[in-house]
Amino acid sequence: MSAFVGKYADELVKNAKYIATPGKGILAADESTGTIGKRLASINVENIEANRQALRQLLFTSPNALQYLSGVILFEETLYQTTTDGKPFVELLQENNVIPGIKVDKGVVELAATDGETTTQGFDSLGARCQKYYKAGARFAKWRAVLKIGPNEPSQLSIQQNAQGLARYAIICQENGLVPIVEPEILTDGAHDIAKCAAVTETVLAAVYKALNDHHVLLEATLLKPNMVTPGSDSPKVTPEVIAEYTVQALRRTVPAAVPGIVFLSGGQSEEEATLNLNAMNKLEVLKPWTLSFSFGRALQQSTLKTWGGKKENVGKAQESFLGRCKANSDATLGKYVGGSGTGLASESLYVKDYKY
Amino acid sequence: MSSFKSKYQDELIANAAYIGTPGKGILAADESTGTIGKRLASINVENVESNRRALRELLFTTPGAFECLSGVILFEETLYQKTASGKPFVELLKEGGVLPGIKVDKGTVELAGTNGETTTQGLDGLGQRCQKYYEAGARFAKWRAVLKIGPNEPSELAIHENAYGLARYAVICQETGLVPIVEPEILVDGPHDINKCAEVTERVLAACYKALNDHHVLLEGTLLKPNMVTPGSESPKVTSEVIAKYTVTALQRTVPAAVPAIVFLSGGQSEEEATLNLNAMNKFQGKKPWSLSFSFGRALQQSTLKAWSGKDENIKKAQDAFIVRCKANSHATLGTYKGDATLAEGASESLHVKDYKY
């Protein structure tokens, strides 16, 4: 085969397929220390290890929530944390058939002479780090590439750099037993319409899959984490059905059937928007050779965070909120979501202009 | 969209989808004058226009054949020919629910500095020619790119040139209302094993689809005509099931779901081999978001040609042989071929010609 088939091939294919199980999705809980700090700040909670641990414990011990998750992406610190009873988070997840994943990129840096376009770092000793994470129980990884739409963006340079970076990261993961989630996020910022977003998404995804092929990545052992195709943030909104149509069309034109699952990022969408859009995609009557699911961060945690407010006495209620979003998104992967889950918090836009992770 | 918006968009999508109708496929009857000459010579028939016309009439008037065909690829001369009673072939096809197609490439030329690798010509004035063909009734086109497997082949240059040639041809076709069949044939010649063929096929197809995306081609309005993934001609044979698995896997890894149908070329396979392999692919359990069908030349016509041998009194015999292959392949697109086709003389005969020049 053109693809690299190393000693982990069977395991990788099996894990990728499991993550793509209909009815399940991914909780992206891999906020770096800096980023989680902003979240905690928004609810007036101090950014110390104990609080970061408490938040993740709240999520991972939510009764009945884990059944809706096939994977959780963790930040390195969290991979080695335990519950207050001393049980490693990784064990807790594994016991509940949730595969632990790990964010392995080291953020973005600007590409000189572009208009604020970026490439992603993290290659140094990546292989060795992946091995370490595998030993700690991780079985998939995530690397976020970022592109933007503008008068001259994304540039050929940005597309090439980010696509090649994702491909290099992906093959290193596969060499070391981790299923790579390939994430080429095209930011929603801008006044462009949905057709423009579609054109850019198709161009970027085509470049990504060419790069993956060039680097001999085994597609059956990868997942894709793309943006949905939507109008720009400064453009009038459209219905979930329209978003579904444009998104699925873009994916049908670029993502080979060998990829087992596509797990969308939520970008700046509110919890409810993200769920409704995912649901519309799964209801769309057109042939989709990959499952369509979620890998949500803010869109799974926002109302939970607010309900918690950092207070022990709110944990139960916060966990109920979290369960509500998990179930809603699980239904959405099956096209069965009937809307209106959760409180008004669920409709709050999570858009932050020029969002930096 | 990333693809350009042709005024023929809806028609292109409808025609491409129609060609992929389960139970149907394409008869590749687009042999150039030179090539058909070789076929006629093999049955001691003179290569004159009336004989070329007679052969095609034999095929197109075979009772029941059109039910198994969604399209026929023609050479330019044939596009303007008629039956003996004066009906234009194009009309005959259309009345039978068969889309006429047209070969638009002008053959291959060698790439300097390579070991016999080639690129395909035919882009000059292609737009005008396509318009002319559309007016004459053609609704799809075909352009054959050729690659080979060797110690240093296919080279990056050959892959790039052929992929981008196919993409340029494809978008010009779509601008003028013709569904482009994208044909990146990797020759079977060589002692390589099936793994090597798979690796090369995946690389070539990935390059093709990147090129098509770069050129803004509307994938829903195209068809793919690839080689099946097989061992090289000098390598031991494998079963149809193995060929099916390697072929479908290669396609799953490279061909987007937006492409409605994949119509295989038969290369040097015998009529029966080609049918059995196609059948195995349609029985194979795995994700196949495009239909899998045939675009066969030799593998549909070989025994028909032999049965005819240029004689009027053999027409019925020849047509009987032709309908057998049509039905067999129609079944194969549904995975229901039982291998019970009456094996005419020549059906199992390998059609491999080393370093085959069209």
Residues of B with CB below 8 A from A253's CB? Answer: 2-3, 213, 219-220, 256, 258
Residues of A with CB below 8 A from B199's CB? Answer: 1-2
Residues of B with CB below 8 A from A200's CB? Answer: 2
What pTM was computed for the model? Answer: 0.91
Residues of A with CB below 8 A from B250's CB? Answer: 2
Pairwise CA distance, residues A80 & A227, whole Å: 30
Pairwise CA distance, residues A205 & B38, whole Å: 45
Q: How far is B200 from chain A (nearest CA, A)?
A: 7
Tell whether A257 is within 8 A of chain B (Cβ). yes
For position B5, what pLDDT does the model report? 83
Enumerate residues 6+ apart whose C-beta is below 8 A from B316.
Answer: none
Residues in chain A, pLDDT under 50: 1, 357
Q: How far is A318 from chain B (nearest CA, A)?
A: 41
For position A348, what pLDDT does the model report? 75
Q: What is the distance between the terminal CA atoms of chain B, rounded to a whole angstrom?
A: 37
Write phi, then psi, for B70 (nearest 5 degrees).
-100, -20
Pairwise CA distance, residues A6 & A272, whole Å: 41
B183 is catalytic: yes
* Catalytic position from the list A183, A185, A202, A272: A183
Best CA proximity match to B238, nearest among B276, B184, B295: B276
- Say which amino acid occupies B130: C
For position A357, what pLDDT does the model report? 44
Residues in chain B, pLDDT under 50: 358
Q: What letter does residue B68 receive in the DSSP assignment?
A: G
B110 is catalytic: no
Pairwise CA distance, residues B355 & B358, whole Å: 10
- Whether residue B213 and residue A257 make contact (CB cut-off 8 A), yes or no, is no
Query: Mutating which of A213, A216, A290, A291 best tests the B interface, going by the most B Cβ atoms within 10 A?
Result: A213
- Whether residue A254 and residue B249 make contact (CB cut-off 8 A), yes or no, is no
Residues 144..203 of A with a Cβ closer than 8 Å to B: which? 195, 198-200, 202-203
- Whether residue B206 and residue A198 make contact (CB cut-off 8 A), yes or no, is no
For position B342, what pLDDT does the model report? 59
Enumerate residues 6+ apart whose C-beta is below 8 A from A184.
Answer: A145, A147, A162, A163, A166, A204, A205, A208, A226
Q: How far is A284 from chain B (nearest CA, A)?
A: 15
For chain A, the three-class secondary structure string (H helix, E strand, C coil) is CCCCCCCCHHHHHHHHHHHCCCCCEEEEECCCHHHHHHHHHHCCCCCCHHHHHHHHHHHHCCCCCHHHEEEEEECHHHHCCECCCCCEHHHHHHHCCCEEEEECCCCEEECCCCCCCEEECCCCCHHHHHHHHHHCCCCEEEEEEEECCECCECCHHHHHHHHHHHHHHHHHHHHCCCEEEEEEEECCCCCCCHHHHHHHHHHHHHHHHHHHHHCCCCHHHCEECCCCCCCCCCCCCCCHHHHHHHHHHHHHCCCECCCCEEEECCCCCCHHHHHHHHHHHHHCCCCCCCEEEEEECHHHHHHHHHHHCCCHHHHHHHHHHHHHHHHHHHHHHCCCCCCCCCCHHHHCCCCCCCCCC
Write phi, then psi, for A5 (nearest 5 degrees).
-120, 95
Residues of B with CB below 8 A from A214's CB? Answer: 206
